[in-house]
Amino acid sequence: MNEITDMLPKCLVKLKGETLLSRQLDALSGAGINDIAIVTGYRRDLLANIGLVEFHNERWAETNMVSSLAKAEDWLDNYPCIVSYSDIFYNANAVISLINSTAILAITYDPNWRALWEKRFANPLLDAETFKLNANGYLMEIGHTPDSLDAIEGQYMGLLRFTPDGWAEVQRIRADMPQTQRDSMHMTGTMQKVIEAGKINISAIPYHGEWGEVDNAEDLRVYNK
């Protein structure tokens, strides 16, 4: 986000006077979650006094998000965990829908994504990714560049739930990768690998509430309106 995050981690960017992190904590606590941890990287010092359990990725500048998430393996190996990207906002209902899921691995998605994307981009295909479901509501494809709107049945929000078995499948897949590939893997690419492996299903839960992702200063202007 250029100068906006020159001196602070993205989760401390403010939207309507409130940090993204504060909005997430409100949604999590509103859903009844009290055990909350944060995976830190850049400017971890600014997150030192917020009262959360910290997992730190000392290689944050060289690795992508799944490697950062793996720093929380003590929790992921042993408990069902809600996982949230740091640059999104949503309400407690999104979290509750994941808590209530019985799936090994579940994600939330926005089936009405296009209205939001048209506010953010002149061409909604510019930033959208493929998202295809089967008749049972399981994810069949995610994260590719779409050729048309027909390839997009929704947009993944960056909010998901791992059970220990779901996380174990991610770790099994990552273990077979060379180090450089493992370091560069993002979450949607990882989920596509899970789909292709065919050992577990990824349940996709539609969410119709307010949410957004903050990629740049223009996004802030859109949401502030």
| Domains parsed from the chain with CATH numbers | 2-224 (3.90.550.10)
Give per-residue pLDDT as tens, 36-93.
999 999 999 999 999 999 999 999 999 999 999 999 999 999 999 999 999 999 999 9
Side chain identity at residue 16, one-letter code = K
pTM of the full structure: 0.95
**Measured between alpha carbons, how far is 216 from 145 in angstroms, rounded to an integer?**
20
- Residues 38 and 68: beta-carbon distance below 8 Å: no
Q: For residue 2, what pLDDT is reported? A: 87
Dig out the tokens for 124 from the structure: 């909604």
Look up residue 2 and give its DSSP letter. Answer: G
pLDDT bucket at 14, cuts 50 / 70 / 90: very high
Distance CA 220, CA 225 (A): 9
Determine the Cα–Cα distance for residues 77 and 113; give it in Å rounded to an integer.
32
The predicted model gives 114-119 an average pLDDT of: 94
**126: pLDDT strictly greater than 90:** no
In what helix (H) or strand (E) does residue 53 lie, and over which residues does it extend? strand 53-56
Residue 164's pLDDT band, with cuts at 50, 70 and 90, is very high
- Give residue 132's region: left, alpha or beta (phi > 0; psi -120 to 50): beta
